[in-house]
């Protein structure tokens, strides 16, 4: 058997994500994916035990690629409001992107039968927001925000910038523009900073 490589794994994940985007999660088969990658199904299964596992890896990669830097940079020095605005816009653009909404819908649609969504939350989403909580905690220690539960504050931040664009988008609203995102995040962050001001 061939040695498994990162490059090959990456090729599989990319091909799978393309197919999920084109045909939806449910209608995409492992055979199609291995055909697109150009290899045997046995090779594919040596990398990913199931379509679920592959989907989780592809979604994780898509999220990390678009937001990991933003989650890292929000903790750097500089004006807090500006940092939060930059972060929130990058995050919301990822969150509302058509492929991410499609993936979210697939996870929500099969929440009854699969724990893919739950494991994504545990492995990726919660740790990412804990990073923001860590940043907020630093701001609290520095006296720029008042003392509070940092993870709860991170959740409030998230709720304020997502509402109600995410809900509308999930329900099929295609009219949300980059300007809407900008205005919404600015207003949400304004509320956040007023409510958490030291």
List of residues contacting other proteins (CB under 8 A): 24, 102, 104-105, 107-109, 111-112, 115, 117-118, 120-121, 125-126, 147-149, 151-152, 155-156, 158-164, 167-168, 170-173, 187-188, 191, 194-196
Q: How far apart are CA 182 and CA 89, in angstroms?
A: 7
Query: Is-contact 124 68, C-beta < 8 A?
Result: no
- Which residue number, 47 or 157, has a Cβ lying nearer to other proteins? 157
- Which residue number, 12 or 88, has a Cβ lying nearer to other proteins? 88
For residue 124, give the H/E element and its range. Answer: none
Give me the phi and psi of 153, to 5 degrees please.
Answer: -60, -40
- Which residue number, 10 or 149, has a Cβ lying nearer to other proteins? 149
Shortest distance (Å) from residue 108 CB to other proteins: 5
**The pair of three-digit structure tokens given for residue 130, joined into one six-digit string:** 């804990």
Question: What pairs with residue 145 in β-bridges?
Answer: 197
Other Cβ atoms less than 10 A from the Cβ of 8: the count is 17
Q: How far apart are CA 178 and CA 82, in angstroms?
A: 17
Shortest distance (Å) from residue 25 CB to other proteins: 10
- Which residue number, 34 or 89, has a Cβ lying nearer to other proteins? 89
Shortest distance (Å) from residue 194 CB to other proteins: 5
């Amino acid at each position: 058997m061939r040695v498994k490589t990162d490059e090959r794994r990456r090729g599989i994940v990319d091909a799978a994500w393309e197919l999920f985007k084109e045909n939806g999660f449910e209608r995409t088969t492992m055979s199609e994916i291995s055909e697109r990658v150009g290899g045997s199904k046995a090779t594919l299964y040596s990398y990913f035990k199931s379509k679920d596992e592959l989907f989780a890896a592809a979604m994780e990669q898509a999220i990390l690629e678009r937001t990991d830097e933003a989650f890292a940079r929000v903790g750097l020095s500089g004006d807090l409001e500006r940092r939060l605005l930059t972060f929130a816009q990058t995050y919301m653009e990822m969150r509302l992107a058509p492929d991410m909404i499609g993936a979210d819908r697939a996870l929500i649609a099969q929440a009854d039968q699969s724990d893919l969504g739950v494991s994504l939350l545990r492995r990726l989403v919660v740790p990412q927001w804990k990073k923001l909580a860590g940043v907020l905690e630093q701001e609290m220690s520095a006296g720029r925000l008042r003392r509070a539960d940092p993870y709860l504050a991170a959740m409030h931040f998230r709720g304020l910038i997502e509402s109600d664009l995410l809900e509308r988008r999930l329900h099929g609203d295609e009219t949300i523009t980059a300007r809407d995102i900008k205005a919404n995040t600015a207003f949400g962050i304004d509320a956040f900073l007023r409510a958490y001001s030291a």
